[in-house]
Structure formats: structure tokens, C-alpha cells
Amino acid sequence: MTQAPQAMVISCMKAGTHLIQELVLELDYRVVGAPRPTPRAAPRFTDEQRRAIAALVLSKADYDEVLESPPAEFAERTDDAWAALVWHWHQRLGQPVVNRYGQTRIDFTAGLASNPFLPYSRFSDTPAGLCWILHELDLEKVDGSFMSEWVETSSPPLVFNFRDPRDVVVSMINFLQGATGGYGNFFEADIFSTILKSKPTWEEKIDYALTDPLFVGGRAFERALWLLNHPKVLNVRYEDLIGEQGGESRRRQVETVNRVLTHLGSGRDPEKVAAKVYNPESWSFHRGRTGAWRERFTARNIAHFKERYGSLLELYGYE
């Protein structure tokens, strides 16, 4: 069994992205995409990979110049080429780059990427050994050439990670209020953090989150229905992955990990991998429990949720 050279996880925000990240790290993937970079997760490249990255991003003249540069300059310029490649693929994968990171990311890529054939490159041309973890893969925004490649080759293998939408609402409110030690570098988070902190009660906070169509992650479950239903996408529930330490089943955790390993072509022992998934030291981790919505939702919140999202509970298997 050969492990897939690249993998991709679509994990709804506050659906336990840290769990799936720990899993792929245990499989020796490095991570790129939405999660906050850490030394353990950040990609590390050989000189051969750096040359391949530079060849994708730079014109022939710029590429030859990089190859002839001293080691320190070679490392710096190939680091820049990698950053440009990452933001290039963020755009092609339909990620909200400007909204979350600012126009400078796109300007940087446009100023550095001098290879006119870069837009025609395939995802399989990106470095091996990486798992791209994103919060969304919206069919209305993603580059059709990527979807065509995926349909044709089933590569990269896609994993869709989700959680009870009611728990996601509570977890998102906790996150945006700084309960995990901060709320990240997405510019939109500043807006919603201020709004939530101005609401005196949890009932009002939840009502607001359910009312504002632009609230972070508010449309994620609806836009991800294609992932939920596609037979080539592996569905993973937070509740099945968190295991005994999160108050759920060890057996289901091992079974779920084994399904992920099979999907990615890994021959690793699911028992050993499952033992490494739960990491309370992970950034953005709060309490890691399931069913927390029952402590926060009032009868009014429950009625409001069912009015707006009631069908999602059934579609995602939570009712």
C-alpha cells in the first residue's frame, strides 16, 4: 500500500480541525492551508523540491538565476517561490484570501510568479508529502481545472471533516471571544469578536450567530453538501474521531482512523495513530467535548436553529 503523495482535508471551522491535523501529522504529512503554522507542521523541503517549486513559479531566466545563487539566497528565494505557490493555489481553490489575509498576498504572488504556465499547472505538481487543510471547497469558487483533475484521477484523496452544527455555533462563539487564547489572524474575526462581546447573554450571542448570514461558518454546512454526498469523499465526524478523552467511543475512534488510513493509502497501525489524535495542547482547543450546545441553547435558540438549519441536522445525521 502506497500512501498518497498529497492529501486534502476540508474541515468546517470549529469542527475539530486540530484532531484531523494531528492524525495527518502522525502519518508524516506536513500541513499547509488554514491551520496556524507550527514548527512540527510546517513543510520542510529538500533542495530538489525547492528547485521544482522554483521551476513551477519562476520564468526560465529567473529560475536559472536562482540556481546560480549562493546557498542562503537560494533558500530565501525558494522560500518566496513556495509562498507564492501557496497563495496561487489558495486562489485557485477558491479560498477567501483577500477577506481573511489581505490584498498583499495576491499582490505578492503576482509580483513574484513569472512563469506564464503556472496557471496551467496541476495540483499533482505541488510538493509531495503535504496535506492541504482548508475550511471550505466551494464549487462556485474553485478553479474548474482542479475539479477536473480530481474527477479524472481521484487525487488528492479528499476527507471531509464535520461536527454537530449546534456544537459548531457554541465553539465558534467561544473561539471568537478569545476562550482559546486568541481568535487567529482572519481579519473578519475582529468584526464578529467585537459584536459577540457586546451581547450580554449567551442567548443573544447564539441568536445573533444564527441570524447574520455572514457569521463565520454560517453557510459552511450548506455549501459542503456535495462533499457529504460524493462517493469519492471520505466523511469523518468529530464525534467519531475524538475518542474516550473527549467523552466518546475509543472503538469508533479507531474505526474512523482506520477509514482515513485506508483512504490515504497508509499502512500504519490505526490503534497507534488513534492514540496520538487527541492533543489538548493544540492551538484553538477549548474543552473538546460533544453536546456542549445543550448547556447553552435556550428554547428560543433551539426553535431559531430549527427554523434556519433544521434540515441540516437530518442530512448530516444528527437527528
At 183 the pLDDT is: 65
Contacts of 112 (CB under 8 A, 6+ apart): 57, 58, 80, 81, 84
At 286 the pLDDT is: 47
**Termini Cα distance of the chain:** 37
Question: What pLDDT tens digit does each residue of the chain (319 aa) get?
Answer: 699 999 999 999 999 999 999 999 999 999 999 888 889 999 999 999 999 999 999 999 999 999 999 999 999 999 999 999 999 999 999 999 988 888 999 999 999 999 999 999 999 999 999 999 999 999 999 999 999 999 999 999 999 999 999 999 999 999 998 876 666 667 778 899 999 999 999 999 999 999 998 998 888 999 999 999 999 999 999 999 998 887 788 999 999 999 999 999 999 999 999 999 987 665 455 455 788 899 999 999 999 999 988 889 999 999 8
At 290 the pLDDT is: 83
At 283 the pLDDT is: 46
As to burial, measured by CB atoms within 10 angstroms (0-12 exposed, 13-18 middle, 19+ buried), residue 285 is middle
Whether omega before 156 lies within 30 degrees of 0, making that bond cis, reads yes
At 282 the pLDDT is: 55
Contacts of 133 (CB under 8 A, 6+ apart): 8, 9, 11, 17, 20, 21, 24, 31, 32, 33, 34, 35
- Chain centroid to CA 281: 18
At 37 the pLDDT is: 82
At 113 the pLDDT is: 95
At 184 the pLDDT is: 64
At 181 the pLDDT is: 62
Global confidence as pTM: 0.93
Compute, in degrees rounded to 10, the torsion defined by CA atoms 132, 138, 141, 145. 60
